[in-house]
Amino acid sequence: MEMHNHWCSASLFLIISCFVGFLSFPADAAVKKNQFDVVKNVSRLCYSKPIVTVNGTFPGPTIYAREGNRILINVTDYAQYNLSISWHGLKQYRNGWADGPACITRCPIKTGHSHTYDFNVTGQRGTLWWHAHILWLRATVYGAIVIMPKEGTPFPFPQPYQETNIVLGEWWNSDVETIVNLVNKLGLPPQTSDAHNINGKPGPLFPCSEKHTFAMEVDSGKTYLLRIVNAALNDELFFAIAGHNMTVVEIDAVYAKPFTTQAILIAPGQTTNVLVKADQSPSRYFMAARPFMDAPIPVDNKTVTAILQYKGIPNTVLPTLPQLPAPNDTNFELSYTSKLKSLNTPQYPAQVPLQVDRHLYYTIGLGQNPCPTCQNGTKLTASLNNITFVMPKIGLLQAHYFNISGVFRADFPGRPPVPFNYTGAPLTANLGTSLGTRLSKVAFDSTIELELQDTNLLSVESHPFHLHGYNFFVVGSGIGNFDPKKDPAKFNLIDPLERTTVGVPTGGWTAIRFRVDNPGVWFMHCHLELHTMWGLKIMEFVVENGKSPEESILSPPKDLPPC
């Protein structure tokens, strides 16, 4: 696919229409959505440039469904970019056709064309989100997915009075595709973002009028469910509410063991549901988010705010700011992630694989490749086990399903080709990084343990890794090099958190386990767009079919976009 970038004239507002259809989804009286938005229209004061949106809203519409529903979404692309949408965290059982990664798993919807995503929500309930899965379009093309439990099934935590989505985003004042094309030519990283936003609004600390602030009105004494999504492209974020504790109850649409905290940490791609009780003296309180970065890498440090406003309190009352952890507070990160555990009750058991059929060890590396046309003569790149991913010419799921040879090789190495002191002194060498579209083939119903190891190639950095088509259990993590002799003894195999996107700590490792029961071709990548763009840190699992048709990939939809 080619990356065209003719940016449109300013008068043309780009719209992708999106129709959400719910089959047998009656109006739900038990839970009402409440969004108290002080501003009715998307601001053109701060954001005075054309952006790609869905239905003209920013963020885009929330998709509501119930566990067990079938969802149909017809997407018509009126923008000048080919695109595909990913339903981040939905397992898409046997149905990778509905999974999003454009030019990787499948081919995108072309400008002027439509495609209907058709999938079932099976065995999942909670907060997920959707986003464009091509170029950097997800900077503005994203929204929340709310899956309610089956009718009559309560939450495993106290029923909140009301709930609201808190979608955290990252904003550039100029057109992102223009920025990215330019820096790709120069071989440099792009400028950091200009602002963060909460539900599309940057808040009063950003030079904008106060109108561009998301506000949530609360009744004194009531408990609220906040569905928090990190839709930022590159920033892990701390989030807190002045004066109020939060009780974490769900992560990546999996119920978690509840714990109370003053702040949460959420990486791009992740979701966190928290309960908040309006138990402070009635006033106005800021909610705020700001990046976490504990590596020597530049980041947009601006704080985004929204307001928690008790009913009846006038807008003239000045809100107080919450205390967020320091931007480089590794200790907060480590202690926070150590509290994340699966709920693990008889109704919601943690079915962590106790036996492992296959052990994999992947090193995450940055590198510099020669680039004669680039400003410094080099170009930043990224790799997994020293392999930089090359985009295939046709969708890998198509290539696998239709047995088209020559598109990929199924020989992705299970460990780095040359062992070294991964997190020792900084290394600038590339260690012989090679290019390739190499996948890992795995047998149906086998179990995998994978250690993701950060390295100090150019720099250590934390990486939120996302696996399509699956949840996995985070059985362990640590700082330094993973030690296969000592570290497994410390694994949590009782109630590890089950999730879909996990942070690999800066200069450390994370171990995940999962059962391979979803046939198809499934993308795994770092959810920092910067790194994905560098070919980086990505690979795919080819999961073979099981024995029966019920364990095999569905046939492709009739309107699957051609390559």
Return d(Cα 217, Cα 283) in angstroms, integer. 10
Q: How many Å apart are CA 42 and CA 49, to the nearest integer? A: 12
Residue 212 contacts ligand C2O per CB under 6 A: no
The binder of ligand C2O chosen from 96, 101, 322, 392 (CB under 6 A): 101
User: Least distance from C-beta 104 to ligand C2O, angstroms?
Assistant: 8
Residue 86 sits in the site that holds ligand C2O (CB under 6 A): yes
- x-marked contacts with ligand C2O along 477-516 as a string, rule CB under 6 A: ----------------------------------------
Tokens of 29: 């009286």
Closest to 388 measured CA to CA, from 420, 405, 365, 372: 365
Figure out which of the listed residues 525, 526, 533, 534 binds ligand C2O, where binding follows CB under 6 A: 525
Task: Check residue 269 for interaction with ligand C2O (CB under 6 A).
Answer: yes
Q: Pick one of 125, 468, 515, 531: the residue that binds ligand C2O (CB under 6 A).
A: 468
Backbone angles phi, psi at 550, to 5 degrees: -70, -10
Interface region with ligand C2O, contact rule CB under 6 A, candidates 220-228, 255-263, 453-461, 522-530: 522-530
Nearer to ligand C2O, 229 or 380 (CB): 229
Q: What is the DSSP letter of 214?
A: B
Which residue, 86 or 165, is less far from ligand C2O as judged by CB? Answer: 86
Query: Please, what is the minimum distance in Å from the beta carbon of residue 561 to ligand C2O?
Result: 17
Smallest gap, in angstroms, from Cβ of residue 400 to ligand C2O? 17
Q: Is residue 466 a contact residue for ligand C2O (CB under 6 A)? A: yes
CB of 26 to ligand C2O, least distance (A): 30
Minimum distance, C-beta of residue 152 to ligand C2O, in the bound complex (Å): 31
Whole-number Å distance between alpha carbons of 527 and 537? 9
Residue 463 interacts with ligand C2O (CB under 6 A): yes or no: no
CB of 130 to ligand C2O, least distance (A): 9
106 binds ligand C2O (CB under 6 A): no
Give dist(CA 366, CA 173) in Å, integer: 27
Cβ-based nearer residue to ligand C2O, 133 or 379: 133
Residue numbers 131-170 binding ligand C2O by CB under 6 A: 131, 133
Strand, helix or coil for residue 326: coil
- From 26-34, 63-71, 432-440, 519-527, give the range in contact with ligand C2O by CB under 6 A: 519-527
d(C-alpha 478, C-alpha 453), whole Å: 10
Mode of pairing for the β-strands spanning 70-77 and 114-120: antiparallel
List Cβ neighbours of 63 (8 Å cut-off, separation of 6 or more). 20, 71, 73, 130, 143, 144, 145, 146
Nearest residue to ligand C2O on Cβ basis:
88
**Distance between CA atoms of residues 495 and 497, nearest Å:** 6
Which of 307, 254, 255, 259 minimizes the C-alpha distance to 284? Answer: 307
Whether 201 and 287 have beta carbons less than 8 Å apart is answered as no
CB of 338 to ligand C2O, least distance (A): 25
Least spacing, CB of residue 99 vs ligand C2O, in Å: 8
C-alpha separations of 47 from 195, 212, 295, 461 in Å: 11, 10, 30, 31
Using the minimum distance from each CB to ligand C2O, give the nearer residue, 131 or 513.
131
Q: Does 537 bind ligand C2O (CB under 6 A)?
A: no
Rounded CA gap, 98 and 133, in Å? 12
By rule CB under 6 A, what count of residues binds ligand C2O? 11
531 binds ligand C2O (CB under 6 A): no
Three-class DSSP labels, 241-299: ECCECEEEEEECCEEEEEEEECEEEECCCCEEEEEEECCCCCCEEEEEEEEECCCCCCC
Under the binding rule (CB under 6 A), the answer on residue 88 touching ligand C2O is: yes
Q: Taking contact as CB under 6 A, which single stretch among the options 23-31, 34-42, 421-429, 520-528 is the one that binds ligand C2O?
A: 520-528
Could you list the residues that contact ligand C2O (CB under 6 A)? 86, 88, 101, 131, 133, 269, 466, 468, 523, 525, 527
